[in-house]
Chain A
Amino acid sequence: MSGWSAHKGPAVLLAAENIDTDQLIPARFMSTPRSAGYGDYLLYDARYDEDGRAVGHALNRHTPSILVAGRNFGSGSSREAAVYALADFGVKVVIAPSFGDIFASNAVNNGLLPARLGAADHALLADHLSEDARDLHVDLASKEISFNGKTLPFELDPAWQTKLINGWDDIDVTQQHMDTISGFANARRAHARWAWPGGGDGRQSR
């Protein structure tokens, strides 16, 4: 995963609250391998009718790289496929007053920024986008969104900020700690045998 520190692109407003991950990608598409691309599945049931015809949805008119959405975006199911659908569609940043906790972790693990914006600033931004898609500039290093000479600060956990900028992959990071991990595991097995399946007595062997 490559890191990034600033992004400029077209933004679209999806005003609804609670856009959950079931809406972001309906369950029936989840048996598809990632290599097939998930972009077409993004918000599928909102974008297409039952016969698969495109309806009048903002994402059928625009191909934004930034979404501005209502509170509790990405709530619900832990399906990372919701992030794959956004990423494969070309979305790099989602801006909302709040995000589902699991969705936000998944987003950062895929280089997608979940930027939290205060209610007043969010309303300002939503107003700016109410008519049409417009370009926004997102600065990850200073945690700011700018447009029309205005600059709005967004919130992001510092650990996630570092991770996005550096494009860190957790498995790579953790492999530096493998000795510490096996030391921890051995100590736990010795001092808390009950924490192993079957009390670590081998009864659980296959």
Chain B
Amino acid sequence: MSGPRTLFDRLWDAHDVHARGDGASLLWVDRHLVHEGSHHAFRKIEERGLRVAYPELTFGVVDHYAPTKNRAYIADPAIRQMINTLTDNTARHGVRLYGLDDPRQGIVHVIGPEQGITLPGLLVVCGDSHTSTHGAFGTIAFGIGATEVAHVLATQTIWQKRPKAMRITINGNLSAGVGAKDIALGWIAKLGADGARGHAIEYAGPVVRGLSMEGRMTLCNLSIEGGGRFGLIAPDETTYDYVQGRTFAPTGATWDAALEAWSQLGTDADAEFDRDESLNASEIAPIVTWGTSPEDALPITASVPDPDRVPDAKREKVRDALDYMALVPGRPLEGTAIDQVFIGSCTNARIEDLRMAAAVLAGRTAKVPGIVSPGSALVKAQAEQEGLDRVFMNAGLEWVASGCSMCVGMNGDLVAPGKRCASTTNRNFKGRQGRGARTHLMSPAMVAAAAVTGTLADVRPLLEGRDAA
């Protein structure tokens, strides 16, 4: 393809094995990550007598059903079975597995980057919609379904139609207490939970350049909550610094060749996007969700929407959401009493997230119970080295092992019916954290503020005079 190209175009063209007349392309997959949910897919290929085509490019991890406590004995037979099935499937096909007892185990979207399995310039897929996380490295990364997982296992390729191109440019400056999570919820509230449907999002602009890899991963992770299957950021020195020296990163002459290749990964100045959106970070305040879709998000300083004051088309939706969430129209969001907190998930459980929460919690006591589940066992170890575990435990929160935990509740970490949880996760869907659970999404710093006050709260006053990491 000639002419000006976007970052996404460059990556796509480098992976295009065969372009079909109808617009679909067969794309090469550099890394395939599988978790317990892959059981349907392994069964599908085995029913056809097929093997995993490239086991060395396939990595397994136990995360969705991983117990965060008492790992030695898993009482629930269904959970035990899911983990055993993955263990058996990966062993039978010669696929490396990060199992429960592995010191590098963790959430798939945390350990992929952490181990250097994820690199710039790759195409990464996983049977999980938050695979967009890996796009933070300048890779094409997207979530796929079980039939597609089976296809990748059997062929190391996937059929895709090239999505449209969208750019979200973040200008201005982030103020204290505001981060990548607030940017993400901000644009999703503005454009809608299907705002980026059919598009690959490139995040650009000075604020994105200034984000750490952790922040960039949070931003790309939440692309799917705005309807975008792909979110990506061009690699730069921040990316290379993060990648270099990781277990599966290239070394020596291969590293030099990689840097040369990665330096070509960017969007041409005259490349055109089907949609170009921008946000001014200086105008973003800490954000919380109030409803049952990530698009139902507002600054903490706002009030609960009034169904009688929204456009007709939205009235029923707002009413239904407020009914589920048990919120009173017109009341300030701030001060809404919560029952518990959760800090964890592929969205916000990396070391920087834990540092931000700890900066708020240090020397303070949580008024409600809560769980802190680090993104990986290595993140957990690092946090313990930094003394963050003491901060959380001294505040009264539980410090547990790594997994998807209360974000999706598959391992039994659930929010009880009717309980209200301030959560660093990605979905406030009905029943997501458990049947009847009421989820408010927000940043780790904001969850810490909610813990300290026992209510939805603005973290900014609590950060005064503190060194926010």
Contacts and interface: CB of A to CB of B under 8 A. Distances in A.
Contacts of B159: 170, 173-174
Contacts of B447: none
B241 interface: no
Interface stretch (B122-130, B325-333, B380-388): B122-130
A177 B248 contact: no
A79 B409 CA distance: 14
A94 B117 CA distance: 38
A157 B192 CA distance: 23
Contacts of B255: 194, 199
B146 interface: yes
Contact of A181 (B157, B249, B410, B436): B157
B311 interface: no
A194 B250 contact: yes
Interface string B12-48: 0000011010111010101100000101100101001
B129 A77 contact: yes
A180 interface: yes
A45 B427 contact: no
B56 A159 contact: no
Nearest to B150: A171
Interface string A72-85: 10011111110100
Contact of A194 (B50, B54, B261): B261
Interface string A96-112: 00111110011001100
A85 to B, nearest CB: 13
A31 B409 contact: no
A31 B82 contact: yes
A193 B435 contact: no
Contacts of A105: 144-145, 148
Interface string B125-156: 00111000000000000011111101100111
Nearest to B296: A18
Contacts of A198: 247-251
Nearest to A197: B248
For A34, A173, A199, which residue has the most chain B Cβ atoms within 10 angstroms? A199
Interface in B146-173: 146-148, 150-151, 154-157, 159, 161, 163
A185 B156 contact: yes
Contacts of B10: none
B423 to A, nearest CB: 14
Given A171-B48, A171-B151, A195-B119, A75 B410 contact: no
A171 B154 contact: yes
B435 A78 contact: no
A80 B119 contact: no
Contacts of B316: 15
A200 interface: yes
B317 interface: yes
Interface string A124-155: 00000000000000000000000000000000
A162 B18 contact: no
A58 to B, nearest CB: 15
A193 B144 contact: no
Contacts of A72: 192-194, 197, 227
Contacts of A175: 155
B429 interface: yes
Interface string B53-96: 01011000000010000000000001101100000000000101
A171 B417 contact: no
B258 interface: yes
Contact of A110 (B22, B147, B224, B225): B147
A77 B274 CA distance: 26
B320 interface: yes
Interface of B: 17-18, 20, 22-24, 26, 28, 30-31, 37, 39-40, 43, 45, 48, 50, 54, 56-57, 65, 78-79, 81-82, 94, 96, 117, 119, 121-122, 127-129, 143-148, 150-151, 154-157, 159, 161, 163, 192-194, 197-198, 224-225, 227, 229, 247-252, 254-255, 257-258, 261, 292-293, 295, 316-317, 320, 408-410, 417, 427, 429-432, 435-436
18 contacts: A23-B431, A34-B43, A78-B129, A80-B146, A81-B40, A98-B194, A102-B145, A109-B147, A158-B22, A170-B151, A174-B159, A180-B26, A181-B17, A185-B156, A194-B261, A196-B57, A198-B247, A199-B254
Given A20-B293, A45-B435, 19 more contacts: A15-B316, A30-B410, A31-B78, A45-B431, A50-B435, A50-B436, A77-B427, A78-B143, A101-B197, A102-B143, A105-B148, A109-B145, A158-B22, A159-B22, A171-B154, A194-B119, A195-B30, A195-B122, A199-B250
